[in-house]
Amino acid sequence: MPPPLYCVTDATVPATTTELLAGACAARGVAYVPVDVGRFDPCEEAWLRAGDLLFRPAVSYAAVRVEQALFADSVATFYASGEALCFDGAAAPLLFARRGLPIPRTVTLLRNDRAQQRRAVELLGGLPLVVKVPGGEGGVGVMLLESWASLVSVLDHLFAAGRTPQLMTYVADAVHWRVVVVGSRAVAAYRNHPYPDDFRSGPSNDPADYEVPPPSPLTELAVAATRAIRREFAGVDILAHASGRLYLLEANFPCYFPQAQVVGGIDVAGAMLGHLLEKSRHLLEI
Minimum CB–partner distance for residue 134 and ligand ADP (Å) = 8
Minimum CB–partner distance for residue 38 and ligand ADP (Å) = 25
Nearest to 201 by CA among 254, 242, 239: 239
Site for ligand ADP in 121-150 (CB under 6 A): 130, 136-139, 142
Under rule CB under 6 A, residue 196 binds ligand ADP: no
Strands (E), the chain: 5-9, 32-36, 53-55, 106-108, 129-132, 142-145, 166-169, 174-182, 185-194, 201-203, 210-211, 233-241, 246-252
Under rule CB under 6 A, residue 180 binds ligand ADP: no
Q: Which is nearer to ligand ADP, 171 or 221 (CB)?
A: 171
Under rule CB under 6 A, residue 249 binds ligand ADP: yes
| Of the residues 32, 55, 170, 233, which one makes contact with ligand ADP according to CB under 6 A | 170
* DSSP three-state, residue 283: helix
Minimum CB–partner distance for residue 182 and Mg ion (Å) = 18
Q: How far is CA 221 from CA 96, 101, 134, 267, in A?
A: 10, 7, 21, 22
> CA-to-CA distance for 261 and 71, rounded, in angstroms?
28
Under rule CB under 6 A, residue 168 binds ligand ADP: yes
Site for ligand ADP in 3-42 (CB under 6 A): none
128 touches 144 (CB < 8 A): yes
Task: Name the site residues for ligand ADP (rule: CB under 6 A).
Answer: 104, 130, 136-139, 142, 168-171, 176, 192, 199-201, 237, 239, 249-250
Task: Name the site residues for Mg ion (rule: CB under 5 A).
Answer: 237
